Structure 1
Amino acid sequence: MKMIVINNPAAKTGGAITILVDFLKKIGSLKCDRKFLVIVSSEELKKYETDKIKIIVIETQNFFKRIIWDNFKLKSFLKKQNICSNLFISLQNTGVNLDKEIPQIIYYHQALSLSNYKWDFFKKDQRIYWMYRYIYPIFIKMYLKRVKKIIVQTEWIKDSFSKKFFYPKEDIILIRPELSNIKVKDYIKKKQNKVIFFYPASLQTYKNHGFLLKIFGELNKENPKLLNGVEIILTIENTPKVRSLINYYNIENYIKLVGNLNYESILKYYGMSDVMIFPSSIESLGLPLLEAQQFGLDIIVIDLPYSREVTSEYEKVKLIDKLDKFQWKSEILTKIKKIKEEKNEN
């Protein structure tokens, strides 16, 4: 059976799953006779199956399982399913080992492999990032000659990918994710008696949650009265390390840990928030920056190529030079005072 095969078993949470769901909706609305086979690792995505979209769920893949799948198992899997692909699309950054005559398109959104951060392999919490920085590019290069087009989310990724992998810039297509289907009015429920900061990000070293907790810890120590009525919502789990930091900085009354959320719940938190705070040091796009703009939130974000590009036409944003704690504290205090005054007036 001739089908367009889409490979994305790596998408499980966050921006990756949001992009995948958006992609499934788009191909589902296409008026064409093409059939699509979509390989994922989340059973919940089966609900997007249609007459033209067949969704196959395989086991969740870690770094090493994915290498085996892309290089060996995928080809034999398609053969057993009697599927002959006339186009292969990878939504997870690398080409795969298929027959050379099958054209491949890559959706590339992995900033770790393009960053200049020097991770330490011998530190357990940095090992996976070290692999993405130094080992992963080997697999990106492996089948790059078979890739006809690369799709990216931002101009800075387009430039960096072309330079790093010597790939023709004219074959890299920039497509910014669209979030036009969000019905913002359905989610707006501001809490008048609180100033709410929201940071939707997974617990990874470069997301800098520790830095954020330290900032609010120092603010609490320096100006506890001003922090009355302030809440910081983080989409991370209540791990022993996180809890110990919260206790150390004495900010238990301000921090709300909500864990990993589905997209609907994420939108509800945007709707009740006043400020989206985003100190992440490595992003290809930073999807929450687009989402926060949809909701008209104030944004405090680290000043890096991805954030400058994504917020270039947005007025309610403050870009702060890297992790300068004095600038971050100053801007957070400014936002708290401004929002409290606005809420008191209302």
Structure 2
Amino acid sequence: MQRKTIVGVDVRDLQISKSGVKTYLEELCKEFAKPDTSIEFVFIRNRIPVYTGNNPWGKLFEHVRFQWWKQIMLPLKAKIKECDVLFCTDFFVPVFSWGVKTVPVFHDAFFWEYPAHYNKYWRTLFIQLGLRAAKKAAFIVTPTKYTQEQIARYSGIAKEKIIPIHEGPKRFEGSVTVISEDQQKAGFTSASSLLVNPVGKPYLLHIGTAEKRKNLPFLIKAFSELINAADQNNTAADMIPPNLCLVLAGQFTNKSTINDAPTIMATIEALGLQDRVILTGYLPDEAIPAYYTHAACYVFPSMNEGFGIPILEAFQYGCPVLIANNSCLPEVAGDAALAFDPTDQAELVAQLKRILTNQNLRETLIAKGEERIQQFTWESAAAELKALFKQAHNTKL
């Protein structure tokens, strides 16, 4: 009888990440934990707390500890646990892995596409260690064909070794609605259903970390043009609510090279939108479904993405979607979203007017989104990864 393939999964990222990378690891771990007679998963944990503050010396020390974990402790633990394959979802696998086959996940090609957005020493580490280790790996996993092509183009790694496996939406189990302060004053007290609008007003929605590539100042300017045109044109305003808001949900990053908070705040102030643009900060999982459920639409103006999980989350909650017509976003959304040029403010305003004033269009997009999301599940992603791990186990390097 053939022995099970034993796969070690580095789960250190669960200690620190709050982005889509954490969603990716969390959702896959749920699938990997399900019984399977042909494969066994070992979750390899870092027992030491990870420093997440802003002190430069603390951050430097944590970078050193990260490499100690990746290059020394992780492969040693994988070997002791008799793993055949080591799976790491954060770009880095060890250069020397004691004979254990490695499979890293490259979520995007930003290290190459935006070198100025990274600390030069951290980027050098990636090139010297991360890329070197990836070239020795059995396979590299990416979330889309677009990302596969970009990584092959920049890294020189054979495209056949880079395997695109689609992700799924985050599953918000046991979610509840968060009641706003205004709603509490109005008498709402229950936060147990999705029936209550968390903002108390109609709104456009964007969820994501406020990084420069997210193009949020562009979205704010387009929103300003939209509501100003609605105020001046009664015909256009017929179905555009006079109290329409823009909700930007998500945290500001502490990485100065990619943080767009100063420009975002300056744009809001310059356009006098302090009462119309709502910055929620980081949202806990239980709050997010209500924001999707009640949004007039979800707007994704990013200049570049590796996947775009919020597209699927919006589909999941019946929220119409507008996407920038670049990178992987059309690949993920298909024909279930309206597209626009993320450098053309007038085009975005026109698309926003269409989606806000055309109920038939909204219903069509929602129906297409419900159909499209069936192609993106964590169950299918896990099944594809399991097949890849078994192939890696049997691959001679």
On whether the aligned pair clears a TM of 0.5, the verdict is yes
Change in 2 beyond 3 A, CA 1:112/1:133: farther
Structure 2 residue aligned with 1:102: 100
Three-state SS of the structure 1 residue aligned to 2:305 is coil
Give the TM-score normalised by structure 1.
Answer: 0.77
Where do 5+ consecutive residues of structure 2 fail to align? Answer: 54-58, 177-192, 253-260, 364-397
Q: Compute the TM-score of the two structures, normalised by the length of structure 2.
A: 0.68
Check conservation: 2:175, 2:286, Cα contact below 8 A: no
My pick for the range that moved more, 187-196 or 97-106, is 187-196
Amino acid at match of 1:25: K
The counterpart of 2:35, out of the listed 20, 30, 54, is 30
Query: Which of these residues, 3, 9, 14, is aligned with residue 6 of structure 1?
Result: 9
Q: Does 1:248 align with 2:262?
A: no
- Aligned partner (choices 123, 142, 158) of residue 132 of structure 2: 142
- Give the SS at the match of 2:138: strand
Counterpart residue identity of residue 196, structure 1: Y
1:39 to 42, 45, 65: 45
- Structure 2 counterpart of 1:172, one-letter code: I
Offset at 1:181?
5.0
- From the superposition, tell whether residues 134 and 143 of structure 1 become closer, same or farther in structure 2 (CA, over 3 Å): closer
Look up the equivalent residue of 2:88 and give its one-letter code: S
Structure 2 contact 324–340 (Cα < 8 Å) conserved:
yes
Where does residue 183 of structure 2 map in the other structure? none
Q: Greater share of strand residues, 1 or 2?
A: 1
CA RMSD across the alignment: 3.7
Q: Structure 1 residues 39, 253: CA separation in 2 closer, same or farther (over 3 Å shift)?
A: same
Question: How many Å apart are 1:217 and its aligned residue?
Answer: 2.5
Change (3 A) 1:97 1:58: farther
State the identity as a percent: 17
Q: d(CA) in 2 for partners of 1:146 and 1:237?
A: 36
Task: Tell me the number of residue pairs that the alignment of Structure 1 and Structure 2 aligns.
Answer: 317
1:21 to 18, 26, 34: 26
- SS state at 2:40 partner: coil
1:174 aligned partner: 164
SS at match of 1:143: helix
Segments of 5+ residues of structure 1 without an aligned counterpart are 41-55, 120-125
Shift of 1:168: 2.8
- 1-structure distance, mates of 2:263, 2:135: 44
Partner residue of 2:243? 229
Which is bigger in relative contact order (C-alpha 8 A, separation at least 6)?
2
TM-fit CA distance, 1:107:
1.4
Instruction: Write the distance in 2 (CA, Å) between the matches of 1:324 and 1:13.
Output: 31
The answer as to whether partners of 2:303 and 2:324 remain within 8 angstroms in 1 is: yes
Contact 1:236 1:260 in 2 (8 A): yes
Question: In 2, distance between residues paired with 1:271 and 1:37?
Answer: 34
Counterpart CA distance in 1 for 2:226 and 2:121 is 36
* Equivalent position of 2:383 in the other structure: none
The AA in structure 1 aligned to 2:166 is R
Greater mean alpha carbon deviation, residues 238-247 or residues 178-187? 178-187
Partner secondary structure for residue 334 of structure 1: helix
Rounded Cα–Cα distance in structure 2 between residues aligned with 1:35 and 1:185: 28
In 2 relative to 1, CA 23–65 (structure 1 residues): closer, same or farther, beyond 3 Å?
farther
Which residue does the alignment assign to 1:93?
91
- C-alpha distance in 2, partners of 1:112/1:199? 21
Provide the rounded CA distance (Å) in 2 between the counterparts of 1:240 and 1:163.
33
Match of 1:312 in 2: 334
1:217 to 203, 217, 224: 224
